[in-house]
Amino acid sequence: MSITSVFVPRILVAAGLATAIGGAVAIADECKDVDISVANGKGVKIKTIKVEYECQYDNTARTEQIPNVEVAAGASKLVAPKQNLAGCEAHKMLWMKLHFQAFCGGKWSKEFVTQPDKTFLNDAPCGRGRKYTVTVPDSNVCEQIK
C-alpha cells in the first residue's frame, strides 16, 4: 500500500467533513444581523421595552430586549439593529409583538403590548441582514390610562 493510497482518501474525507461542518455553521448563522424597526401610528411618542416573536420552525415565543428607544409620534425608527433571532434560521416569521410605553400627560404610561403583527407572515424566511418592521397601530393609549 502506497503512502498516496492511504493519505489521499483521508484528506478527502477530512475536507468533506470540514465542508459539511462549515455548511452547518453557515445555516445556523442565517438569522443574524437582523434589523427591527417600529412604525409608531400613535399620536404620542412611545418608548420600546422588548419585542416578542415566533417563527415557523418550533412555534416557540422568544424575546429580544429593546429598552428605552423612543419613537416619535407618527414616525418609523430602527430600534434594534443587528439582532440574532434565535430559532428563526431559514424559517418564516409568524408574528411580532412590541411591548412599549406611551408618553401621556408628561410622563411614561404603564406597559402596553401590541396585537401580533403578522404582516410579514408570507414573506421569505429569515436570513442574514433581514429587516422587520413592527407596526404600532393608531389608538389613543392615553385615554386608556385615565
Examine the domain organization and report whether 16 and 38 are in the same domain: no
Examine the domain organization and report whether 26 and 60 are in the same domain: no
Examine the domain organization and report whether 20 and 61 are in the same domain: no
Examine the domain organization and report whether 47 and 23 are in the same domain: no
Examine the domain organization and report whether 64 and 111 are in the same domain: yes
**For residue 97, is it within any domain?**
yes
Examine the domain organization and report whether 22 and 78 are in the same domain: no
**For residue 74, is it within any domain?**
yes
What is the bridge-based pairing of β-strands 131-136 and 34-40? parallel
The predicted structure's pLDDT at residue 17 = 41
* CA 46, chain centre distance (Å): 19
Examine the domain organization and report whether 135 and 105 are in the same domain: yes
Please give the Cα distance from 125 to 97 (Å, whole number): 18
**For residue 53, is it within any domain?**
yes
Examine the domain organization and report whether 44 and 8 are in the same domain: no
The predicted structure's pLDDT at residue 15 = 47
Examine the domain organization and report whether 26 and 43 are in the same domain: no
The pTM is what?
0.77
Examine the domain organization and report whether 84 and 124 are in the same domain: yes
Boundaries of domain holding 126: 34-140
Examine the domain organization and report whether 22 and 42 are in the same domain: no
Q: Where are the beta strands (DSSP E) in 57-139?
A: 62-65, 70-71, 76-83, 93-104, 107-108, 112-113, 131-136
Domain tally, the chain: 2
Exposed/middle/buried for 31, CB within 10 Å: 0-12, 13-18, 19+? buried
Cell of residue 93, nine digits: 416569521
Residue 120 neighbours by CB under 8 Å, 6+ apart: 93, 132
**For residue 146, is it within any domain?**
no
Examine the domain organization and report whether 18 and 47 are in the same domain: no
Q: Tell me the average confidence (pLDDT) per consecutive run of 10 residues in the chain, 146 residues long.
A: 54 45 46 94 97 88 94 97 89 94 95 92 84 92 77
Residue 42 neighbours by CB under 8 Å, 6+ apart: 73, 74, 102, 136, 138, 139, 141
